[in-house]
Amino acid sequence: MQPQFRTFLAILLAASPAAGAAAATSHAAPASAPALAKRPNIIFILCDDLGYGDVGVFYQNQRAAMKDRSVPFFATPQIDTLARDGVKMTRHYSGAPVCAPSRASLLTGLTQGHANVRDNQFDKALADTHTLGTTLQQAGYATAAFGKWGLQGSAKAGGTEDDAAGSAALWPAYPTKRGFGYFFGYVRHRDGHFHYPKEDQREVWENDREISQDLNLCYTTDLFTARAKKWITDQAAAHPKQPFFVYLAYDTPHAKLQNPPCAYPPGGGLKGGVQWTGKPGGMLNTATGTMDGWMHPDYAKATWDHDHNATTPEVAWPDVQKRHANDVRRIDDAVGDVRQLLQDLKIADNTLVVFTSDNGPSAESYLKENYQPNFFRGFGPFDGIKRDTLDGGVREPTLACWPGVIPAGRVNDRPSGQWDWLATFAEQAGVPVPAASDGVSLMPSLTGQGRQLPGTVYVEYHVGGRTPNYPEFSRENRGRERKQMQNIDLDGYKGLRYNVQSADDDFEIYDLAKDPQETHNLAENPQFAHLQAAMKARVLQVRKPDPSAPRPYDNALVPPVTKEPAGSPGLAWSLFKGEWPWMPDFRTLTPASKGETNRIDLSMASANQPSGIAFEGFFHAEQDGEYTFTIDSDTGAMLFLHEIRVLDEPLKKPAGKSSGRVRLKAGWHPLRLYYRHAGGGQPKLDFEVRNPAGASLKPDESSFRSTAPPN
């Protein structure tokens, strides 16, 4: 999309979302995207603790094909159609191996190196920043969230995040305050462990009302599906030209593993499947039967060869395993129901549907017997489960379907992460990708067309306990002590650290294509010494410490590039003409002009025209220690060193002065300084650097180099 159109679109969006959507239909999009006339509706379906191996096309169908009675399996026929009709992403990662930080990374487009919710910070307030919801609202989309939230924050000053008291008005990060025009679901993380809200005495909120007393016998998979269907139907009827975004976040199959009360109604879509009646006491057409009472016939009497002896009688599947398969099959029915609705409304060809999960399968339940995912091998061909950063805990079963745009039956094995969806959706919605995102658009990976920009796959997480001692796991990974864990993907290899003690700890290095269980540690080979050093440097170059989630490497000095950059002193600059609702990632835009400067100079910008400038090059840290960077601007500015967001652009008041500190090792560090000017006044951008001794450094040609480092 050209800068001139971005200006035009931003102005229209500020005046009228509907006008902005209409304007977007008359201009061409980038080569990697469909024409803006087909700005898609987007439905993002997120499951809770559904493992990579819990989906037919990812692993269960392989178990079925073995035809071995000692290998139990279950089916997901409707979810599998997404793979048939779209793309199967075999190396797609969640932000973390547990739900709260994972969902925070997804919603904000940030890895755990920058997201404000980390580790086990359940119910912590999601940062007031760009989200999937706010970004698409700016693009003129109607936005709605259904299901589990768990990122609302405390309803009272000084209170804990999970205080019992709360309301839509008091929770600081309620979904409607984070970009969703409509919300229906569980607000608290803990409520999402139960699947009959009224009977389990859990609160369900619809915008500013708590409505659980009306939800007799409403099983949550059915409840969230039916309410989403009703909202989509109403939206399509009332505003047929306005695209919509639905975030459908199920709370199953996690935790209580309750069965639905009755069979899933046949059909689907407008006239079949689950239906929202809106009648208190009977809100759903499936609010009938017996609580926790119905089991799919495929599993009700399922047996298996438990002792690998065909001459002895088979035994029934354990009840907890039947429940898990039953809960997943209910999600499968719901996915088919939603897809049928899109067909009935004649919007299927212009709707992008994404299906995935928040983390690996869990070894827990609220029953007498814990669910163990090794019965069905819900972790697939990998080691690790929920709370592990082994691939079984963070690699997610991800499918995307957009008829006519994503080729049917496509498989993509490029590493990517859920933080990439914000950039992907922004591009397709016709708005610039926010610079305040760690992600890149995945459209080239989804479609096979265009050049895929390199992305970052980075995970950090801390928890006690150990990896389960399952016989299916390699001996190296059974019973591993977790504590501080960290992953980085670099040059086609995965770096993994468990129980990290310092920034100097070695990474285990794995070639996942050949070694999916992470058993053959290539770091023991001297040929990988260079990659080992690069991984240790890279993990410090893509994150910013967060005092609420301390790490043993927080105070480590960020390494410079390994070779001094050659070329011109000063910085390269690129001028972009346009006005944007936020600081755009200028790397995705086409500049109007370019040049070099030996100072932070705004002479290339017009006082009366909205514009943006990207200064790029290298900053020289003269000695080891903590450097302080300060910027002061009239509209907004951001500063990056490597991929570290040293200074973000505030969402509410981007203009003014802000400072940030980063500990640097002496040497040259890649720098990006972004600035935008709204026009109508003199451009202003003051930039100051103070060294570890507190002395002010003049940002002149001796401090900067404008060229890229040699390979």
pLDDT above 60: residue 677: yes
The CA distances from residue 19 to 42, 199, 486, in Å, are 19, 45, 45
Q: Could you confirm whether domain 3-458 is CATH 3.40.720.10?
A: yes
The answer for residues whose C-beta is within 8 angstroms of residue 550's C-beta and 6 or more apart is: none
Do the Cβ atoms of 429 and 243 come closer than 8 Å?
yes
Q: Token digits for 678?
A: 């709204």
Would you state the pLDDT for residue 33? 38
Residue 362 — φ and ψ, nearest 5°? -100, 155
Would you state the pLDDT for residue 710? 39
Q: State pLDDT tens for residues 224-267.
A: 999 999 999 999 999 999 999 999 999 999 999 999 999 999 99
Would you state the pLDDT for residue 707? 72
Helix 319-344 and helix 220-238, axial crossing angle in degrees, nearest 10: 10
Do the Cβ atoms of 642 and 590 come closer than 8 Å?
no
Residue carrying structure tokens 């997804």: 106
CB atoms within 10 A of CB 2: 14
Confidence of residue 7 (pLDDT cuts 50, 70, 90): very low
What is the enclosing helix (H) or strand (E) of 20?
helix 17-23
User: Average pLDDT, stretch 149-159?
Assistant: 84
Parallel/antiparallel/unpaired status of strands 41-48 and 244-253: parallel
Would you state the pLDDT for residue 18? 33
Distance CA 505, CA 348 (A): 50
Bridge partner residues of 43 (DSSP): 246, 353
DSSP secondary structure string, 292-342? T----HHHHT-EE-TTS-TTSPPEEPPHHHHHHHHHHHHHHHHHHHHHHHH
Q: Token digits for 97?
A: 């191996």
What is the enclosing helix (H) or strand (E) of 646?
strand 644-647
Quote the mean pLDDT of the chain. Answer: 92
Do the Cβ atoms of 150 and 117 come closer than 8 Å?
no
Confidence of residue 163 (pLDDT cuts 50, 70, 90): low
Q: State pLDDT tens for residues 315-359.
A: 999 999 999 999 999 999 999 999 999 999 999 999 999 999 999
The answer for residues whose C-beta is within 8 angstroms of residue 167's C-beta and 6 or more apart is: 155, 208, 210
Domain 571-705 CATH class label: mainly beta
Please classify residue 526 by burial: count the beta carbons closer than 10 Å to its beta carbon, then call 0-12 exposed, 13-18 middle and 19+ buried. Answer: exposed
Would you state the pLDDT for residue 651? 83
Confidence of residue 674 (pLDDT cuts 50, 70, 90): very high
Would you state the pLDDT for residue 365? 87
pLDDT above 60: residue 161: no
The CA distances from residue 518 to 485, 521, 523, 682, in Å, are 15, 7, 12, 57
What is the enclosing helix (H) or strand (E) of 79?
helix 77-85
Task: Of 15-29, 44-58, 423-437, 675-689, give the lowest mean pLDDT range.
Answer: 15-29
Distance CA 539, CA 24 (A): 39
Would you state the pLDDT for residue 159? 56
Q: State pLDDT tens for residues 520-563.
A: 999 999 999 999 999 999 999 999 999 999 999 999 999 999 99
Distance CA 447, CA 33 (A): 9
User: Average pLDDT, stretch 289-302?
Assistant: 98
Do the Cβ atoms of 187 and 163 come closer than 8 Å?
no
Distance of CA 208 to the CA centre of its chain: 26
Least Cα distance to 467 among 373, 398, 358 occurs for 373
Residue 254 — φ and ψ, nearest 5°? -70, 150
The CA distances from residue 608 to 339, 401, 605, 611, 683, in Å, are 49, 44, 9, 9, 9
pLDDT above 90: residue 140: yes
Bridge partner residues of 460 (DSSP): 486
Would you state the pLDDT for residue 608? 86
Amino acid at 646: V
Do the Cβ atoms of 408 and 84 come closer than 8 Å?
yes
Distance CA 390, CA 437 (A): 25
Confidence of residue 654 (pLDDT cuts 50, 70, 90): confident
Do the Cβ atoms of 110 and 90 come closer than 8 Å?
no
Q: State pLDDT tens for residues 62-97.
A: 999 999 999 999 999 999 999 999 999 999 999 999
What is the enclosing helix (H) or strand (E) of 48?
strand 41-48
pLDDT above 60: residue 17: no
Do the Cβ atoms of 620 and 705 come closer than 8 Å?
yes
Asked if residue 407 has a cis previous peptide bond (ω within 30° of 0), the answer is: no
Question: Residues 603, 606, 608, 612: what is their CA dihedral angle, to the nearest 10 degrees?
Answer: -100
Query: 97's torsion region: left (phi>0), alpha (psi -120 to 50) or beta?
Result: alpha
Amino acid at 549: A
* Residue bearing the bigger pLDDT, 567 or 679: 679
Amino acid at 238: A
Residue 456 — φ and ψ, nearest 5°? -120, 130
Would you state the pLDDT for residue 697? 87
The Cβ-side half-sphere exposure at 138, using a 13 Å CA radius, reads: 23
Distance CA 383, CA 370 (A): 19
What percent helix, strand, coil does the chain show, rounded to 5?
A: 25, 25, 55
Distance CA 223, CA 202 (A): 14
Helix 319-344 and helix 77-85, axial crossing angle in degrees, nearest 10: 50
Would you state the pLDDT for residue 160? 56
Return the domain boundaries, the chain.
Answer: 3-458, 571-705
pLDDT above 80: residue 22: no
Say what the pTM is. Answer: 0.93
Residues composing the chain: 711
The CA distances from residue 71 to 229, 321, 472, 594, in Å, are 36, 13, 12, 62
| C-beta pairs of 536-540 under 8 Å, 24+ apart in sequence | 536/503, 536/504, 536/507, 538/488, 538/490, 539/458, 539/486, 539/488, 539/495, 539/503, 540/503
Least Cα distance to 101 among 550, 643, 549, 464 occurs for 549
Residue carrying structure tokens 């920043």: 129
Do the Cβ atoms of 254 and 248 come closer than 8 Å?
no
pLDDT above 80: residue 679: yes
